[in-house]
Structure 1
Amino acid sequence: MWFKNLQIYRITDWKLMPEELEELLARRTLQACLSMEMQSLGWIPPGMEETRLVYARGQQMLIALGSEKKLLPASVVNQRAKERAVEMEAQQGYPVGRKQMKEIKEAALYELLPRAFVVRQKSHAWIDPVDGWIIIDSSNIAKADTFAETLLKTIPTLLLKRIKTNLTPASAMTRWLSGDELPHAFTIDSDSVFRSREDKKVSVSYQRHPLDSDEITRHVRAGKEVTKQAMVWENNLSFVLDENLQIKRLTLLDIEKEPAESAEEQFDSNFFLMTEQLKQLLPDLIDALGGEVVE
């Protein structure tokens, strides 16, 4: 268990114990897609055990949202609709109209849905009620927000929002590369993306390429800002920070792990190590970005 991507949310006044959270999640577990459904969402076991919906270690909790989604390409639906349109034209003796074609497409969709392939996916979230974090392991903002929305439907009293900082990540990263002092816990790594403030399509990417001051100055003077930057925290974790305060490619560096006797012990050990590291990284990162916006 090790998150690769972090979507950061703030929670306040969390009062649920693991058993209480388990009871709430059990009311909205993942159900198989019905024949005429495109997608189904629900809670599934996050850990090695196949029954528990909440994995808890001390006060730290891990949950997982499962999804079933039917794969039905538009090209397949359109092809079937064309076939049905040809049949309809032959029967009625004149071409189908726009409204009729829309109805034919809907009928083709309903005909094909029960035969569509189903893809299953799983997303994890770590809940830290002590420091007030919910961290969703996803590289996609929309998918993370779907997770958060499902959690809000499951726990209507939950106070949950994306975290905001006083400095935008783009402005802070641009300053750091331009010579401003970097917070002591962090070092700059060699992957960067500069993007034009005026034309979002104009960008320059560097991979494994340490930038010299002249290159940075040239990009900044040309109206570009840093939208992605690889960084290292305390020589323990490497990651890429982006303009939306997403952490990607999170990697544990040279920390010695004790061998585990079973898969369950390894899962537990990894979860403990991850949460202990992130409980230190996240406050340092928020401080480096000027602190959290209090609303």
Structure 2
Amino acid sequence: MWFRNLNLYRLHDAPQLDAAALGQVLGEQAFRPLGGSEARRMGWTPPAGRAGTQLFHELQGHLLLTAQRQERILPASVVREEVDERAEAIETSEGRKLRRQERLTLKEQVFEELLPRAFVRSQRVDLWWDTKRQLTGVNASSRKRAEEVLDLLRETLGSLKVTPLATQTLPMRAMTEWLGNASSRPADLIIGDQVELKAKGDDGVVRGRQVDLDSDEMQQLLESGRQASKLALQLEDRFTFVLHDDLAIKSIRFDDRLIDEASQADDGDDAIIRLETDFLLMAQALGDNIDRLLEWMGGEAGQPAASPNPGSF
């Protein structure tokens, strides 16, 4: 249940639906397995998997939804090889070269014939919706996959205005400042041991793992004009993560204390209760600490700037 990645978005004027109405619209876009000639399909599936039938869980204003995506994997090399074989056979039998349009038609024919026999890959993607903050986060490793899930949510609700969450101070500038000036770091923020530095020119990217980010060598790289595009951070007693320059939060690892709190909850061996307990603890931790991150970076873009006092909360 615990998210590994988080692509964050602001919801604007999101529709208010009661549980019955939300369940109905989600059901209309429920996942169905791919048909024989379909290349891909996405729909909603129970977050609890086989243990449940609910298409969403709502706890204290936090919604959990899960999209399931299926696609057929048909390598281009397989199609190309079959097209070449068929084209060669036609050219030999008819004693002529196939025109470009004929090869394209042949390629489409081969693709349609091979697609139903292609390997099917399935993927589940969780979405957290904080209805009080009007904030949503998608547990996807790529922005593209996250936005596919948001497109499904938009289609499900009829309309939905969503924008990537943005801050007054650009994440790259904030991370570079924290890295280069220890006194600028908020009180509960700890620098980790992973970084990616980009130069303004064409000097490439410097990546470091398991390195001392307060070393003289790191300071020299910053003094040369490089800026932090990724930085491992730890929110004390909460979780560790890698912050990206688009405000995506990746490689999340929740603190053992939070995991222990979840494991000690009495769920009566009920998989649904276990899921909801874990989700609520995670969602509360994420919501509170995203608020802190926004404050540390001057507040949300388009909103009045926060007072510069990074050490107090």
TM-score, structure 1 normalization: 0.94
What residue is the counterpart of 2:141 in the other structure? 139
**Mapped contact 1:72–1:117 kept (Cα < 8 A):** yes
What residue is the counterpart of 2:234 in the other structure? 232
Structural mapping, 1:5-16, within 5 Å: 5-14=5-14, 15-16=16-17
Secondary structure class of the residue paired with 1:102 = helix
Q: How far off is 1:254 after superposition? A: 2.7
**Mapped contact 2:196–2:230 kept (Cα < 8 A):** yes
Does residue 54 of the first structure (1) align with residue 56 of the second (2)?
Answer: yes
Give the aligned residue type for 2:218: I
Instruction: Go from structure 1 to structure 2 and tell me whether the alpha carbon gap of 1:151 and 1:12 turns closer, same or farther (over 3 Å shift).
Output: same
Give the aligned residue type for 1:280: D
Structural mapping, 1:1-295, within 5 Å: 1-14=1-14, 15-48=16-49, 49-179=51-181, 181-199=184-202, 202-255=204-257, 256-257=260-261, 258=264, 260-262=267-269, 263-294=271-302
Give the aligned residue type for 2:111: L
Secondary structure class of the residue paired with 1:87 = helix
1: CA distance, partners of 2:97 / 2:63: 60
Secondary structure class of the residue paired with 1:216 = helix
Q: How far off is 1:231 after superposition? A: 0.6
1: CA distance, partners of 2:156 / 2:143: 20
Q: How far off is 1:141 after superposition? A: 0.6
Q: How many percent of aligned residue pairs carry the same amino acid?
A: 29
Q: How far off is 1:148 after superposition? A: 0.9
Q: How far off is 1:118 after superposition? A: 0.8
Q: How far off is 1:52 after superposition? A: 1.2
Give the aligned residue type for 1:191: Q
1: CA distance, partners of 2:104 / 2:27: 40
**Mapped contact 1:47–1:55 kept (Cα < 8 A):** no
**Mapped contact 2:169–2:298 kept (Cα < 8 A):** yes
Q: How far off is 1:136 after superposition? A: 0.5
What residue is the counterpart of 2:310 in the other structure? none
Give the aligned residue type for 2:10: R
1: CA distance, partners of 2:204 / 2:63: 42
Structure 1: where are the runs of 5+ without partners?
none
**Mapped contact 2:57–2:276 kept (Cα < 8 A):** no
2: CA distance, partners of 1:18 / 1:192: 43
Secondary structure class of the residue paired with 2:37 = coil
1: CA distance, partners of 2:206 / 2:290: 28
**Mapped contact 1:8–1:133 kept (Cα < 8 A):** yes
**Mapped contact 1:9–1:134 kept (Cα < 8 A):** yes
**Mapped contact 1:238–1:250 kept (Cα < 8 A):** yes
Secondary structure class of the residue paired with 1:144 = helix
Q: How far off is 1:213 after superposition? A: 5.0
Deviation digits for residues 86-132 of structure 1 (CA, Å, limit 9, x no counterpart): 12112321121211111111111111011111111110001110111
**Mapped contact 2:191–2:213 kept (Cα < 8 A):** no
Structure 2: where are the runs of 5+ without partners?
304-313
Deviation digits for residues 20-57 of structure 1 (CA, Å, limit 9, x no counterpart): 22111111122222222211111111125442111122
Give the aligned residue type for 1:244: D
Deviation digits for residues 239-283 of structure 1 (CA, Å, limit 9, x no counterpart): 110111110111111313215431333222211110111121110
**Mapped contact 1:198–1:223 kept (Cα < 8 A):** no
RMSD: 1.6
Q: How far off is 1:84 after superposition? A: 0.9
1: CA distance, partners of 2:193 / 2:187: 18
**Mapped contact 1:185–1:284 kept (Cα < 8 A):** no
- Deviating 4+ runs (over 3 angstroms): none
Deviation digits for residues 164-203 of structure 1 (CA, Å, limit 9, x no counterpart): 111111111001111151122311111111111222x611
1: CA distance, partners of 2:121 / 2:10: 31
Q: How far off is 1:12 after superposition? A: 3.2
**Mapped contact 1:8–1:246 kept (Cα < 8 A):** yes
